[in-house]
A and B are shown apart, each in its own frame.
Chain A
Amino acid sequence: MAERISRLAAGLGAMVLMGAMAGCGGGKPVAAADRTGELTVWLTVDAQESWPDLVNEVNDRFRKTYPKVKVTVQYQQWTTKNQKIDAALAGRKVPDVIEMGNSETTNYIVNGAFAAVDPAKFDHSAEWLPALRDACRNDGKTYCVPYYVGARVGIYRTDLLAQVGVTRAPRSYIELRADLDKLKAKFGATDKNFSAFYMPGRYWYAAMAFVKDAGGEIAARGKDGRWHGALSSAHSVAGLTTWKDLLDSYYTGDRSKDNGDEPAVVGQGKVGMFYGNTWEAKAATDSRSGGDPALRGKFGTFAFPGPSGKMMPSFLGGSTLAVPAKSENQDLAQDWIRLFTDRTSQRRLIAADTLPNNTAQLKEVAADSVNGPAAQAATRGWVTPLAPGWGAVEKSNVLQEMLQDIATGKQSVPDAARAADRRIDAVINEN
């Protein structure tokens, strides 16, 4: 018995060794046309839903250079993507290209998950949007490539506003509130489920825009290089108070919700205005996302005027593409990304009502198009703190809980903000 086991072990050992040796083969450069292998690309479902043609086109272009490389594109959900990525990165078989939100990258970069890329290889890299470029940089090197960006705007029901005698989108916060008062007086009086303005309590991208507009910050970096929460600063508290006032005045829904089902709720027809991404107006008229096709053509977008008098600083939620350091096809992966983010591809994104990754092409977005106000908003955008522990702050719902406590009146604004700052301080500097 013992002898048999040792023989088995020896056999296994030999096999493992052979496998290991096979793994370190190669070395000679191969012509592009002769390159073989497989390239795995993980994109989020946005590409599948909104620009599937672009993906196919890029794969075709890639195949012209590398006819023998098989490209597999797999689509991931935002909610489960990072858990899958973590599991994959902890193993040996990793995807070669992964899409990362610009608020997610820093933690991966400081922990050495991504390979550095040379920005010079990519179109318009000198004009990359700072919101995406900065999220890819660390210690002077670039670790991911900007893909696209989205900015939030005001969206309103043109037909409802017309019924209260308003024919143009509001241009100042005072005008906005006057319009909302009219909507509330006309429709809120008869329907207690009507929200003149839709603002669920956990919608932190919106609430933080008010903080930024008031000159506040979510977190700031001290002189010693350490990050700390700044929500309880006077400016931030002022912003949160303005947000709470808007919510108290015009929102009638559940205050412990986030904006996850915003298009579906707006599609119910009991919302006059909301703050969101331009595509949400489209989704609100699409029965697949819970919307109502009867509302088609009844939404307008506008650059949201901030209470400070300037345009509301919008969170620039965007995506980047990175190559995991463990990928065995890093050069192929970079080449695929180069095609997927080049000038031609970006033009396709603009056509799909998305904002491009660079300021040069941002000007190509027509001002009167549905995305015009978003392109305008992108010029005054902000990003989440580029701190190593930011992902932990986001995922442990610190902001959402603070806002819920404020919205429901469970805590006063300063108390909730102080509690949130303590929780931010506890994790934001951790890798």
Chain B
Amino acid sequence: MGSVELPGPPRAVRPPRPARAPRPRRTIRRRALPYLLIAPTVLALAAVLGYPLVDLVMLSFQDMTRRELFSGATPPWAGLAHYRSILSDGFFWTVVGRTALFTVACVAATMVLSLLVALLMRRVSRWVRTVMTGVLVAVWAMPVMVAASIFRWLSDADYGVVNWLLGLLPGLDFSKHNWFENPWQGFAVITGVVVWGAVPFAALTLQAALSQVPAELEEAALVDGARPGQLFRHVTWPVIKPSAVLVTSLCAIWDFGVFNQIWLMRGGQPEKDYYLLGVYSFIESFAVNRYSAGAAIAVLTVLMLLGGAVVYVRQLVHLGAAE
């Protein structure tokens, strides 16, 4: 950096270069400035996110019942008791495994579909692309509540249009078929809603990334005789990889915490087979009134997500170093 002096803008507006001679007072003040500027944000975050999080962690180490909730008394200290009973409960690990599987399925489907949509958008004519963008934004703007209700009606056993459509195929009888009786099929429908809602964001981000791939680079590769697969792997993919990693990580975080779609599709009364970590924590807290056990499940969920976030950050650092 700075080996070649470029004719820059006037000195006065330029940020000061690192001073060689110590100018203590002014430097301190200037160094403090960014911190002062970010302080309101940090304080707001601490108040809005930090306080509830600390409260949640505290709650998970206490034994909060409704008696304490209603009277305002401090709940007794429970130490690690909740964590011990949750971690030794086989059902908890079933839910963890189910959540992980669900996340992987949703993220994989989302990414593959979005990549295909994004690649398609490069090929189509301008107005088709505009229409596609409009449709994607409309889907993105659709509230989860509405989307989940519509999917629920579509897959209704008695009057659902899905059963009717499948029934039109020769040799298939789907009348009265209940999609939620078998949790695998039920989760397929729920995955459908989640993926349907996530594709727009992923596709538009990937499409933006794809527009950064220089056309002459691809042409050159084609001239050199690269096959389409090779072209994608060696020219296109490296350019969009950072965006893809970002979108994958964000999707994974969202899908790991999916709650609304399941809650709404199961009419607010999910069967045990449909518990994911978010639903399980909510039921423990607010149906069974084991507030502390519910808090402990939530804390464990956050810890698992943090594990995922570490992988993501490392990946980003790795990508940054490679560039």
Report A's interface with B, CB cutoff 8 A. 79, 83, 86, 89-90, 107-108, 111-113, 192-193, 202, 252-258, 260, 325-326, 391-392, 395-397, 400-401, 404, 408, 410, 427, 430-431
Contacts and interface: CB of A to CB of B under 8 A. Distances in A.
A400 B269 CA distance: 9
B69 A90 contact: yes
Interface stretch (B98-106, B285-293, B301-309): B285-293
B286 A256 contact: no
Interface in B269-320: 269-272, 283, 286-290
Given A107-B289, A252-B176, A430-B289, A89 B69 contact: yes
- The listed residue with most A CB atoms (<10 A of its CB), out of B157, B288, B290, is B288
Nearest to A80: B268
Given A79-B268, A86-B69, A395 B156 contact: no
Contacts of B268: 79
Contacts of B178: 254-256, 408
A396 B271 contact: no
Given A89-B70, A395-B287, A427-B288, A256 B181 contact: yes
Interface of B: 65-67, 69-72, 156-158, 175-176, 178, 180-181, 267-272, 283, 286-290
Nearest to A87: B69
Tell me what chain A mostly uses at the interface: helix, strand, loop, or mixed: loop
19 contacts: A83-B286, A86-B66, A86-B69, A90-B69, A90-B70, A112-B71, A252-B176, A254-B157, A258-B267, A260-B267, A325-B70, A326-B70, A392-B287, A392-B289, A395-B286, A396-B283, A397-B270, A400-B269, A410-B181
A385 B254 CA distance: 40
B67 A111 contact: yes
Contacts of A256: 157, 178, 180-181
A397 B69 contact: no
Contact of B65 (A192, A202, A431): A431
A256 B72 CA distance: 40
A362 to B, nearest CB: 33
B274 to A, nearest CB: 10
A396 B181 contact: no
Contacts of B158: 193, 253-254
A395 B157 contact: no
Contacts of B70: 89-90, 108, 111-113, 325-326
B188 to A, nearest CB: 16
Contacts of B269: 202, 258, 397, 400
Given A254-B158, A258-B269, A326-B70, 17 more contacts: A79-B268, A89-B70, A107-B289, A108-B70, A111-B66, A111-B69, A112-B67, A253-B157, A255-B178, A256-B157, A256-B180, A391-B289, A392-B287, A392-B288, A397-B271, A400-B269, A430-B290
Contacts of A404: 271
A29 to B, nearest CB: 27
Given A254-B157, A254-B158, A401-B271, A396 B67 contact: no
Given A256-B157, A392-B287, A431 B66 contact: yes
A325 B175 CA distance: 53
Contacts of A111: 65-67, 69-70
A396 B288 contact: yes
A294 to B, nearest CB: 19
Contacts of B67: 111-112, 431
Contacts of A86: 66, 69, 286
A404 B267 CA distance: 14
Nearest to B73: A112
Nearest to B160: A254
